[in-house]
Chains A and B, each alone.
Chain A
Amino acid sequence: MTDTSTTQVRVRATPEIRRARIAGIILLVMAAFVFWFFGLKVMGDLNATFKLTLPTDKIQDIKMILNTRTLAFVVAGVLAFLSGVQLRKSTEKRTNMAVGVGFFFFIFAFLAWAAAGKSFSLVGMLRSTVILSIPVTLGALSGIMCERVAVINIGIEGQLLASAFTATILGSAFGLWAGVVGALVVGSLLGLFLAWLAIKYQVDQIIAGVTINIFALGITSFMAARVLRKAQHLNSSPQFPAIKIPFLADIPLLGSMFFNHNFFIYLTFLLVIVLHIAFFHTRWGLRSRSVGEHPRAADTVGINVFATRYRNVILGGLMAGVGGAFLSLTQVSRFEENMTAGIGYIGLAAMIFGRWKPFGALAAGLVFGFARALQQKLGILATPIPSEFLLMTPYLVTIIVVAGVVGKATPPAADGQPYLKE
């Protein structure tokens, strides 16, 4: 008896131990890299200056000055310690957390290396991280709304693009709020279209989503070339102003990062919280999730599977509509052909990286936004690292996550399968 139980335990623990081993090796390689490349290869007397305040802030001139080499040695030590924990024989490892912390320190050492002997506006980069994360997070929320009820939404990109287009035109013609309403309506309609194809006609959901993307790209480019070129006044939308939150906006660093933005950014944070509560602490959420995990069982207990799916997929389109409005009413006033340029796909990636959870989506959005902001700022620092490789990170990270190298992502059980009533 004892024999079988121990083998069972070992069999169950194997994937986690293997993952911990991989993580340990990766962390060790990172530690060696930091020690040698950011530490030993850098001149000892170089300091990196990080600016923590913007010139417009109330409190001025807070800086963090760090010696690049010393920091690299410290970080290498931390990474080596984390690696040791992962490679040690024990059951309690917290692999994902260790990898996350490890990457955080690695990036820190990297920034100090990139800014060695220079001054770098850390606050500026973190502020653009938050801004760049918003459309990605909203795209991911759209994906979550749909996939939690087992409808795959590959069409996020198209929903973003079409609603951004509508927001530009209506915003230019009738003002800001008309643009917002238009974007929400178009996003929801494309959600309805996806739901209709997926539920009524049981069209392969990936094909339905791809169609939305191709259609949105085609129709917006067509309209932009045929209509907007002649009617320029429809292609200059007003912009939402930033709303400073009293007191909080004056906190150094955090104030600029989080509390001095236009309302979309606050709305996104609010949506993340609301959706988290809705999905995991309300009856609606339980019903939605049951439809995504086991639609037949949900149907048996009296939940209307089709209605739930329609409602959530339309709401998902609505989230993408918010994202589209954000893109054209806060960042640029002109609609450009294919202006989303893959943000919807990054949103899809963020949904998977965030494991189909609203807070996960936000965290993933921030990580991907950080990669983007870093790419933009590294040009200023003139590092020898090609920016293309940073632009690849969201996609690479997603492949690593879906492949389960570090932490497996498990989608809702019935994801992508049409439901047929018996």
Chain B
Amino acid sequence: MTESTDTNLTNPEKSPPEKPPSNLFARITGINTGWIRSLLIPTLALLVALIFGAVFVALTDLEALALLKEDFGGGLRLMAEGVGLAYKALFTGAFGSVYGLSETLFAATPLLLTGLAVALGFRAGLFNIGANGQMLIGGMAALWVALHLNLPGFIHIPLAILAAIIGGALWGGISGLLKAITGAHEVITTIMLNFIAFFLVEYLLTVPVFQEAGKINPISEFVPLSARFPQVFGADYRVSIGLLIAVAAAIFVSWLLFRSSWGFEFRAVGFNPTASRFAGMKVQSLLVLVMGFSGALAGIAGANQVLGFSPYQVTSAFAGTIGFDAIALALLGQSHPVGVVWAALLFGALKAGGRAMQASAQIPLDLVVVIQALIIVFIAAPELVRAIFRVKPPEKEKTQITKGWGG
């Protein structure tokens, strides 16, 4: 700032005097604490969500509630014990052993891929609620390649993934195309396409091309050995090369968004579509492209669900609610690939730990869903968290992602 004193004299309003860092730690040490601040709200959100979760566990503990009438203190103690047991099981299930850690990574794999899909959309101002549908279509495309091409593994697997990418990209691309041509809002079209994909898969799993021979219910044939994702830590752990693909995808998305010209345009469109149009960007084709990329990422997640783990056989439920978890995840990761990686690990841990909790402490896995929903609330409304913890608001804030249906 010292060399600019001359210009300051001639044109004072061009460079305002630099403000001293607002926070005491930064003022003393001179270390930029911006990234720590950016972790503050997510951490507090997680904390509050876990506290709420504990309250739900305590309030639904029927034995403790019954005891409460006779012995209030004893009832409370029983509740606290129940909560302690549940969260201990959750934590050790996710981090307490090598197997637990591997399960966390395993659960994080599809979450990372779909989280990246949603985050990429957010960056370009598009809300992709359709990751589930794109997973389903991508997964079915991969399944077709797996079942009907007889190839050695080193070519069979990449080909199946390529099919998933194409399938997911096409399914996502439909929404992009509809938005580009007709202005139909992507939230509506992706929701509707989720259902269409689901019923399409239900149907496809009853035709001989996919269905296991001799079955009446919609269930697929077993994936042949050559198309199954190899496990990376040996047969005892479920982590497959799907994880490596997901990490590679995160690096790719990072490069795409911040190092490529397409990525620049994506972000520009997300920031201000009108300005982008006046700057000469082809906003229409960018919308299709973003939804295509987004769908492709979700499609890979679908391939992971189909080819990635035992029993290597699918029903129409193979996408689960992953596409919706991905929305929470992308918000928690602030739509940044690095943030999404951490958020996926956290949600993977919640899922893996939740399974352990269900097994050992008899707390339904659905508690994890509740915690995730609460995390979104607190991330989306940071003022709530600030009000609880009395944290000062930062200088700039607020991102509204969607704008009305009109488009």
Contact = CB atoms under 8 A, between A and B. Distances in A.
A217 B369 CA distance: 8
Interface residues of A, number: 55
A345 interface: yes
Given A210-B324, A404-B184, A411-B405, A225 B203 contact: no
B184 A402 contact: yes
Contacts of A204: 380, 399-402
Interface string B168-193: 00000000001001111101110111
Interface stretch (B98-106, B340-348, B360-368): B360-368
B370 interface: yes
Q: Which 5 A-B pairs have the closest CB atoms?
A: A218-B369, A215-B373, A225-B364, A416-B404, A218-B370
For B129, B324, B377, which residue has the most chain A Cβ atoms within 10 angstroms? B377
Given A214-B369, A402-B189, 8 more contacts: A201-B384, A227-B62, A386-B206, A391-B199, A395-B193, A395-B195, A399-B192, A403-B184
Interface string B362-403: 011011111111101100110110000000000000111111
Interface of B: 56, 60, 62, 127, 129, 178, 181-185, 187-189, 191-193, 195-196, 199-200, 202-203, 206, 321, 324, 327-328, 331, 363-364, 366-374, 376-377, 380-381, 383-384, 398-406
A386 B363 CA distance: 39
A232 B400 CA distance: 44
B195 A201 contact: no
Nearest to A226: B60
Contacts, number: 162
A49 B313 CA distance: 44
Contacts of B367: 218, 222
A64 B124 CA distance: 57
B111 to A, nearest CB: 14
A53 interface: no
A71 B368 CA distance: 56
B104 to A, nearest CB: 20
Given A204-B400, A227-B62, A395-B193, A218 B372 contact: yes
A222 B364 contact: yes
28 contacts: A152-B402, A152-B405, A197-B380, A201-B380, A201-B383, A203-B380, A206-B402, A208-B380, A210-B376, A214-B321, A215-B374, A215-B377, A218-B368, A218-B370, A218-B372, A219-B56, A219-B366, A222-B60, A222-B364, A348-B188, A388-B199, A395-B195, A396-B192, A402-B188, A403-B182, A410-B406, A415-B405, A416-B405
Contacts of B60: 222-223, 226-227
A348 B188 CA distance: 9
A202 interface: yes
A124 interface: no
A202 B367 CA distance: 27
A211 interface: yes
The main secondary structure of chain B at its interface with chain A is helix
Interface of A: 150, 152, 154, 197, 201-208, 210-211, 213-215, 217-219, 221-223, 225-227, 230-231, 342, 345, 348-349, 352, 386, 388-389, 391-392, 394-396, 398-399, 402-405, 410-411, 413-418
Contacts of A217: 321, 366, 369
A392 to B, nearest CB: 5
A386 B184 contact: no
Contacts of B374: 215
A345 B191 contact: yes
Nearest to A211: B376
A386 B331 CA distance: 39
B203 A386 contact: yes
A196 to B, nearest CB: 9
B43 to A, nearest CB: 19
Nearest to B174: A399
A161 to B, nearest CB: 12
A226 B369 CA distance: 14
Contact of B203 (A227, A388, A410): A388
B317 to A, nearest CB: 11
A416 B331 CA distance: 19
Contact of B381 (A197, A391, A398, A404): A197
B183 to A, nearest CB: 8
A204 B401 CA distance: 7
Contact of A218 (B187, B202, B373): B373
B44 to A, nearest CB: 15
A416 B402 contact: yes
Given A201-B381, A345-B195, A211 B398 contact: no
Nearest to A158: B373
Nearest to A399: B192
A25 to B, nearest CB: 18
Nearest to A391: B199
B178 A214 contact: no
A399 B187 contact: no
